[in-house]
Structure 1
Amino acid sequence: LSGTVWSMEGLAQGAGQMHMPTWLQEMMLTHFANTTRKAKEPKEEAVPSRSYLDKSRKQTIGIVLTRCAHDLGTAHGVDSYFLTSKILAHLIMSLDERLDFDTIRNVRTFLKPKENCLLEPGPDPEDEQLEAILQHPGEPPLAAEDRVLKTLCHVPQLALRLDSWLLMAEDFDCISAMVVRSVRIISEALAEVTASKPLMSILMVILSAGNFLNEGTRWAASGFRLNSILKLKDAKSNVTTSGSSNPGAEVDGPKKA
């Protein structure tokens, strides 16, 4: 009690010596001691579910779906994820303007960045988690976040739709101008390379040298990939000579007497 209000003026000692009337004791016993506590209702056992998503991806889906539920006016909580995802899939299919830039970008984070929908619709074959979700037999039921991802993946070319939407929402004119400029620079560079006679002479020397070194082991090549030029610095002779031990010895040619 030291340092508290009870240590002042002997309040604690006075409270201990106070006599409580009989009627007050009976009233306190009646209203407090004999009260019965309400029995707690037994909790329903949670239905076991199966999740193939890692913790980080699962948490991201939960956060984004909660925000979407608030923006779309649907119910909140894990039980509402499936309903929200169905509404979200419908809005994506119809390019609904109620989906803002942040929502589209957040939904895009559900998918792996390497998902390739340009060639064919469907998930990225490298996304093992999503592949497992789509092949789930049905029992036990999928976790809420897994069902959300499965629902959204029924949207044809989902990643391509979202990427195109993001491109239009950011600044299409500015980005398209940059792309056109880059394509023009590459086209001009390719034209200069293919028209350069000195470069063609160098490539011919490299091709001839390669065929000479590989004579007897391979057929004469009619060309090579340009990225093979990067391997020239690793080419070494297996014959040790004074010139190879001292590369600069014969640069100036033989000296005249």
Structure 2
Amino acid sequence: MQQISNHIFCDDSIASLELETRLMTNQYYDYPYLIIKDFFSKSTCYDISEYAYNTSEGEKAKVKTRVLGSIVNPSVDESIRKTVIHKLSDLHVRMYDENFKSFQPLIERFFSVALTTSTALQALEYTKGSFYIKHADDSNELVDADGKTVGFIQVAPMRKLTTVLFTTSHKMHSSEDYSFSGGELIFNYLFDVNGKQIKLYPRAGDMVVFPSNPIYSHEVLHVENGYRLTLVQWHNAIID
């Protein structure tokens, strides 16, 4: 295991891979990802969740693949990803954009980058039985005949940073109408000092920011009950 921050270690096999984009945080930080508390107030989170649940018409999320060196059109594959994408109201998007601008200097300092362009904001809904298997946001994983990871091939090089804002809480923190059990966010190759895999149990209003490269491969565990809604973006950046 390789230590990548004061409290977090990375699996040797992944830490040693040659990656096309290898953005990392300062190794003297406590954690190699950033958690922003209260990006939105509880009432705003509730309003957004209410809108997605009752008003917005969603569509099944797709995944990108690469075949013979070419990226093919994204398609629905519910063995990989079972979730629904919603569109937010114009008001909620404007509120998000305004808040993001206020936190952008913090994000840029933490990761030593200058953010440039960003994808459109996605509202991702996970209900009972929804999940997303292990994946890296900028790459597809390559495995051998035994299922062992042997490398990654980049399919979305413009993705340098990932931001995930939760508008609902894990039930260990809240039993409100819009909360969920299961559905934890796991970083597959990151571990604490006791060798325990990093697993996040978010509160509504928490934003998690992390590099999009394979070191930060992650998954969403099956939702057992409730309603899990996240606002997700991917950001290009000039890396210092």
TM-score if structure 2 supplies the norm length?
0.22
Larger Rg: 1
More strand by share: 2
Of structures 1 and 2, the one scoring higher in RCO (CA 8 A, sep 6+) is 2
TM-score by length of 1: 0.21
Task: Determine which structure has the larger helix proportion and give its number.
Answer: 1
